[in-house]
Amino acid sequence: MTKVIDYYMTLISPWAYLGSQRLADIAKRHGAEVRVLPVNYGEVFPRTGGLPLAKRAPERQAYRMMELKRWRTYLDVPINLEPAYFPTPEAIAAGMVIAAGDSGGRPLELAQAFGRAIWEQERNIAHESTCREVAGETGHDGADLLARAQDPAMAQRHAEQTETSIARGVFGAPTYVYKDELFWGQDRLDFLDRALAD
């Protein structure tokens, strides 16, 4: 039986981006499938006790930056800590990731590429042209995925995934769910790795 990891995330999360390659490596090592499930954390946070970054206390914002610096160094990932386009609307890109999963594409690779666009390349994934380009760079048909993402049904899928995430206990990004056990944060990937090995 194939092992399945449900990956609840937002494309604009630096933590999701920092963990994305390690998640891919762990899944490959265990022969696991990763279902990439972008959700709207603008809905998740107020219903689960969280706050968007701009509304957090200065002390929490300062510590977040300290942790990002630590993880950037530890993982040797060239992440820009204050990218030009953050936060930015991600509905189009999220729809394209969902569409890639529906059409036999590589949604995890595409999600990682959108993360790289934000956190390394100073590109704005709110723009259709950028989303088409990023998809094309990963070998996907950018125009096709963009068209699928703009179908009203895709917004409904995104909303449904958000509701499902809350029902499963998700409150932060990224969250990895394996056998109904939640692993919140890219710093919990070692525990996910161990669970997959059992």
- The DSSP output letter for 160 is H
φ and ψ at 127, to 5 degrees? -90, 135
d(CA 54, CA 57): 8
Q: Return the DSSP state at 8.
A: E
Q: Is 129 a catalytic residue?
A: no
* Among 13, 20, 129, 165, the one annotated catalytic: 13
Q: How far apart are CA 34 and CA 13, in angstroms?
A: 18
Smallest Cα–Cα separation from 134: which of 156, 149, 151, 155? 149
- Which residues are part of the catalytic machinery? 13
